[in-house]
Amino acid sequence: MTEAALSDLSVAALRAGDRAEFARLVDAASGPIYRLALKMLGDPQDAEDALQTTFLKVYQHLGEFEGRSSLSTWLYRIAANEALMLLRRRHPQLSLSDDGDDDLEYPAAQLTDWCCLPEEEFVSAEARTALDRAIQRLPEILRIVFVLRDIEDLSIQETAEALGLSEAAVKTRLLRARLRLRDDLSGYYSGRLEQRKQ
């Protein structure tokens, strides 16, 4: 969900509690917010709970929206907080401020170039399952940055605003997430490459 997708909404009407305008906001934003929740939580029922709670909170607090950030960033902030709160129920020790920033490690495993696979290999149902599993294996503090930046297409600055992190922290975590995901997917796609050779 980009700000452009919400640009024809009237913030004044939303703040005034206009139900039809709120319905238009829900129509434009519910897909991306559900996607974020599903990627973060990995469970459709939990994602639906997060989606509903997010929009209940959005409606409740729209009158307080001051426009200091964009409307989309504000929505993502509420949704991210909701998803992280549900994750903290599972893992009470989870903290977004834990940096966990160890030294970057170059992959120890063998490097296989799997980019030459046919395009249909990258979008098959099996490949999507492999991708979803790899995303779920990312530590939560990396996953939320990755989901906002690479799945929801927020800028580094918007991701930092939504999560209350510095841009430097967002960049570091995004890189770690991408490298881990690349490593993880390399296992799957190298296997596909081997199978095609047989």
Partner 1 sequence: MSHTHTPKCKSMLTSLSDYVDGTLSDELCQEIDRHLADCPDCTVMVDTLRKTVSIVHRCAEDEAQAPAPVRARLYKTLKLDDYIRH
Positions in the binding site for partner 1 (CB under 8 A): 19-20, 22-24, 26-27, 30-32, 34-35, 44, 48, 51-52, 55-56, 59, 104, 106-107, 110-115, 122-123, 127-128, 131, 150-153, 171, 174-175, 178-179, 181-182, 185-186
- Judged by beta carbon, residue 94 or residue 184, the one nearer partner 1 is 184
The CA distance from 131 to 129, in Å, is 5
**Helix 19-41 × helix 44-61 angle, to 10°:** 140
For partner 1, which is the closer residue by CB, 49 or 94?
A: 49
d(CA 23, CA 3): 17
Report in angstroms how near the CB of residue 92 gets to partner 1 at its nearest: 27
Nearest of 50, 62, 69 to residue 25 by alpha carbon:
62
Q: Least distance to partner 1 from the beta carbon of 110, Å? A: 5
Nearer to partner 1, 59 or 94 (CB): 59
Ordered alpha helix ranges (H), the chain: 11-15, 19-41, 44-61, 71-90, 120-123, 125-137, 140-146, 156-163, 167-197
Q: Which is nearer to partner 1, 13 or 179 (CB)?
A: 179
Say which residues have a Cβ less than 8 Å from residue 101's Cβ, sequence separation at least 6: 172, 173, 176
Nearest approach, Cβ of 159 to partner 1 (angstroms)? 12
Nearest approach in angstroms of CB 117 to partner 1 is: 9
C-alpha 198/C-alpha 192 separation (Å) is: 10
Pick between residue 94 and residue 131 the one whose CB is nearest to partner 1. Answer: 131
Cβ atoms of 119 and 194 within 8 Å: the answer is no
- Smallest distance from partner 1 to CB 158, Å: 14
